[in-house]
Amino acid sequence: MLRYVFVAETDAEAIRFAKPAMECHLGHLNWLRDKHGVGAADARFGVPHPASFEDAVTLGSVIAGSPPTVWAQIEQQTAELGINYLLAYPFVGGMSLAEALRSLHLFSAEVMPKIRDQ
């Protein structure tokens, strides 16, 4: 399972830096689709392509929040989808290096041990 994962001390802080970074990233990903009029229904393999941060969260492709929130989302998706491998994208768009490194530190220190122990 591939997910964009953003971790901060609080859910609000994670959303504060994840939303603009992901919006920028989605703009780049969807630029050619938009230019050529390829909608979600025409997407490759029928996989929907979110147009906004909120769409990506709703689809489950973005997980943003505090360590407990992120872990709960990963645990829920693992149970629902039966996945056994997580590929996490922690850096996108216009994130600052400090935000990216803090997110990665929190993910590795507080979320990964729970994944490992599952």
Give residue-wise pLDDT tens across range 68-100.
Answer: 999 999 999 999 999 888 999 999 978 999 999
Sheet of 87-89: strands edge to edge? 62-65, 2-7, 87-89
59 vs 50, residue with greater confidence: 59
- Of 11-20, 25-34, 36-45, 106-115, the one with minimum mean pLDDT is 36-45
Position 102 scores a pLDDT of: 96
Residue indicated by tokens 């969260």? 57
- pLDDT range class, residue 27, cuts 50, 70, 90: confident
- pLDDT range class, residue 46, cuts 50, 70, 90: low
Is the per-residue pLDDT at 42 higher than 60?
no
User: What kind and span of H or E run contains 100?
Assistant: helix 97-106
The helix/strand count (H/E) of the chain reads as 5, 3
Is the per-residue pLDDT at 50 higher than 90?
no
Cα–Cα distance, 51 to 44 (Å, whole number): 15
pLDDT, mean over the chain: 89
**Count of C-beta atoms within a 10 Å radius of residue 118:** 9
Q: Among residues of the chain, what percentage have pLDDT more than 70?
A: 91
